[in-house]
Chain A
Amino acid sequence: MIKNSLVKTAAAILLSAHVGMAASAELSGPVSYVIPFGPGGESDISARFQQPFFKEKFGQDLVISYQPGGGGAVGWASLNGLSGDGHTIMGVNLPHIIIKPAQKDVGFKTEELNTFYMFHYTPDAIVVNADSPYQTLADLVADAKAKPGEVTLSGSGKASANHLAQIKFDKLAGITTTYVPFKGTGAAVAALLGNQTKAEWGYTSVGAKQGDAVRMLAVAMGERHPLFPDVPTFKELGYDMTGGAYRGIALPNTASAETTKLWSDMIGEINNDPEFRKTMLDGGFAMLDVGADEMSDFMAERIEEYITDARAAGLIE
């Protein structure tokens, strides 16, 4: 065992030096899976969930490493400089890869990223403490109407999925709330649990992780999440709002069409494994199956939506 782990460590270190591997669309060694954030977030956890299934199905190790910086921008700006032989992949996140390049030159453009699969999303949700006076979404809306701006909601980052959700919901409900950005979902949840803010703009995964300590008022899905049959959707309550933070994987744009197809098929196969789906749903994630073929349509729709919302909110010019 110890020997085995040493070999794996060595393999991972050597991996960064891997160049000029076979060009044919098959895997000849371990794959480096770069997460452009620190560990512990939703991107990391969902990649960790994929890891054992990948090894089991395709026989190769998926070696996860973290390359945080610039809210993901450092990683994405470096992606196309990496080897396109199929042994390096990188997590991509929406709305980040759309909003960031629209704000300023961050070293990459949305359409330059070779995103080949979007495999899940974490639906937006308003989360409150278990002992919060807000029993329903209507309670929160009424309070925000009575005291404009005084209802504070924590969330992860600015111009992020949480922030866009807050802007959108405020507009739909005709209310004014105050959004307080934190560094990552973990910090935003800590602020909620410590009653620093009155509610949190989070995801269904927060509800799954915190269990009885919190209550979700509504989720931004088409139908209720199977894990939370009692939590209504925004739609049911009369607010036309679905979506969240979408996560996928990209290859360097030098990857051949065959390599891209191979990867799209492999991630699709993992995504359709019933055991994997169950793990993801139990974690509060919602599944998504957008492969390489449908990616350009999917991205075009998202770009339209995010850019419109962000512009209306004054986040981009």
Chain B
Amino acid sequence: MELSQFISALTPFNLALALFGVVAGTVVGSIPGLTATMALAVLVPITFSMEPASALILLGAIYTGAIYGGAYAAILLNTPGTPSAIATTFDGYPMAKKGDGDLAVALACFASVFGGLVGAFALLFLAPPLSKVALAFGPVEYFWLSIFGLSLIASLSSGNVIKGLAGGAFGMILSTVGVAEISADIRLTFGSQMLIGGFGVVGAMIGLYCIPVLIDLVATPDRHLKVEDDVRSVRIGEAFNLAMKSKFNLVRSSIIGTLVGILPGAGGSVAGLVAYSEAKRTASPEQRFGEGEPDGIMATESANNATVGGGFVPTLVLGIPGTPPDAIVLGALLVQGVRTGPTMFSQSGSIVYTFIYGLIIATLLMLPAGLLIGRYAYKSIVTIPKAVLVPTVGFMTIIGTFSIRNSVTDVFLMLCLGVFGWVVAKFGFSASPIVLGLILGPIAEQGFVQGWTIGAATKNLFGMFFGRPISQAILAFTLITLIVPLYMARRKSRVQEVSDNG
């Protein structure tokens, strides 16, 4: 990691590329349905005609920008632009409803930059040892991790545990539709060709989150978001002070994001969720998570951007990509003749280090770029008349869903889920448990099947599922997550009783 690579990452051309990449990525990420994967896949050929390092800087910048961009739609439209931003909706949209959308967008920017830097520096200094984390996670650990993720549904839907779990279970059932990933069975298609591809996460997410918002916009006379009459100055200073006050939250969430990012089977949505629930669990009593708590946004957004750097750890060190964007960068590196693996840092060091420095620079550039675009996005969503906003967003949901795999079926399924989501929301079921079930279901199923197969073969099923240290730790966390809210609720009601009686 000599200085020369840092300087070569700093040429005006590379800086311009990084800036362009961050801006383009932010825009792509903010539109539900357009993903970083698509943008990167299209841009890879330019790595052939360009200096490899420059091209990689561009790819890294787009990726990191897209993860941040996902927060805009989450905050302003209650629709995560990428799955990583699911937990951003929990507090981001309530903040926007209260008229604090600009503050929320600025907070997301500070948190994303912070998380992105933590992940990138972990990649720079600790990649080889951290890659061992990826290998320590076997099938059973993934199984328990997904169970832990599902248990978070219970703690997040406070007061509504049963409905939350029912939603999660429904999501898991949806995830089994179509050709099973590892067993090759075709399930729950009812003989129809339409369902063979199953329910895509992004399409389901657009339907379940975005369509109900659109229906409500049409069905109610209110403005979309509350706007203050007086024109306020930019709320960057306020956001910065809030971020400074939550240093500990930012550091913890970024570390969680980096570690979860390293696991090839998990991803940004799980990272954001774990960080969010940790922030909620350790919150002070006056914080109201789920009703517009700034710490909720900061936890999710720092964690999901930290997964960018974390995800490149197994990609670069082991040649095992964690996420689809990682896989595309890996492909671009292979075409350049870079051999991944333990020797890569010594053999192809200059390309790899320039790439990592480029990622750090792009993350830093996200600060001014993100604040500017965020302000613009907020203003346009707030000032645009409803008659324009609804058809525009409606159009984007359809194009976005279609473009994922050029499938009209996906658009149809998205719309059906959207109407379904709107109806069940009236009965107190929210979208997040369903989407989380859809994401975590396959991880749980695969981990269980593989763990069971290996355990049965080695005649040690019990030890397989309960005897491994990491599994035991995750299991303990799961129990804490499930029991603590119950205990707190009971204590609260007892205190209530006492004060009522007194």
Contact = CB atoms under 8 A, between A and B. Distances in A.
Nearest to B20: A2
B324 interface: yes
Given A107-B196, A196-B139, A73 B179 contact: yes
A12 B182 contact: no
B184 A103 contact: yes
Contacts of B38: 65
Contact of B41 (A16, A52, A64, A157): A64
Interface in A78-137: 78, 100, 103-107
B340 A182 contact: no
B406 to A, nearest CB: 6
A146 interface: no
A71 interface: yes
A186 interface: yes
Contact of A38 (B264, B327, B458): B327
Contacts of B196: 69-70, 73-74, 77, 106-107
A181 B264 contact: no
Interface in B309-340: 314, 318-321, 324, 326-328, 330-332, 334-335, 337, 339-340
Interface string A27-54: 0000000000011110011001101100
Interface stretch (A3-11, A18-26, A249-257, A299-307): A3-11
B454 A39 contact: no
Given A38-B324, A209-B319, A106 B179 contact: yes
A193 B406 contact: no
Given A44-B327, A193-B318, A210-B341, A5 B46 contact: yes
A242 interface: no
Nearest to A195: B135
B48 A189 contact: no
Nearest to B450: A180
B407 interface: yes
A44 B198 CA distance: 22
Interface residues of B, number: 70
B136 A213 contact: no
Nearest to A104: B186
Interface string A234-249: 0000000000000000
Nearest to B453: A180
A195 B43 CA distance: 36
Q: Give the interface SS of chain B, mostly helix, strand, loop or mixed.
A: helix
B443 to A, nearest CB: 10
Given A70-B198, A181-B450, A194-B137, A107 B193 contact: yes
A42 B330 CA distance: 12
B193 A210 contact: no
Interface string B22-54: 000000000000000111011111101010000
Interface in A195-230: 195-197, 209-213
B138 A68 contact: no
B99 interface: no
Contacts of A190: 134-135, 264, 314, 318, 320
A96 B432 CA distance: 35
Contacts of A68: 405
A44 B331 contact: yes
A189 B407 contact: no
A106 B186 contact: yes
A189 B45 contact: no
A160 B128 CA distance: 32
B179 A187 contact: no
Contacts of A171: none
Contacts of A48: 44, 331-332, 334-335
Interface in A140-196: 149-150, 152, 157-160, 178, 180-183, 186-187, 189-191, 193-196
A67 B324 contact: no
Contacts of A70: 178-179, 186, 196-198
Contact of B48 (A38, A51, A194): A51
Most chain B CB within a 10 A radius of its CB, from A150, A180, A189? A180
A40 B321 contact: yes
A66 B319 contact: no
B361 interface: no
B174 to A, nearest CB: 14
B48 A55 contact: yes
Contacts of B453: 152, 178, 180
A52 B46 contact: no
A64 B44 contact: yes
Nearest to A151: B457
B204 interface: no
A69 B181 contact: no
Given A74-B407, A77-B196, A152-B458, A40 B331 contact: yes
Contact of B264 (A159, A187, A196, A283): A187
A231 interface: no
B324 A40 contact: yes
Contact of A186 (B20, B321, B403): B321
B90 to A, nearest CB: 28
A209 B457 CA distance: 29
A163 B384 CA distance: 56
Nearest to B325: A39
A74 B324 contact: no
10 contacts: A8-B43, A39-B321, A48-B332, A52-B48, A55-B48, A64-B44, A65-B42, A67-B405, A186-B320, A209-B340
Given A8-B42, A40-B328, A181-B449, 13 more contacts: A2-B16, A8-B45, A12-B42, A40-B321, A48-B334, A51-B335, A69-B196, A71-B181, A183-B181, A187-B320, A190-B134, A190-B320, A191-B138
- In the A-B complex, list the 3 residue pairs whose CB atoms are closest, starting with the nearest: A40-B327, A69-B197, A194-B135
Interface of B: 13, 16-17, 20, 37-39, 41-46, 48, 50, 58, 134-139, 178-179, 181-184, 186, 191, 193, 196-198, 200, 264-265, 314, 318-321, 324, 326-328, 330-332, 334-335, 337, 339-343, 403, 405-407, 446, 449-450, 453-454, 456-459
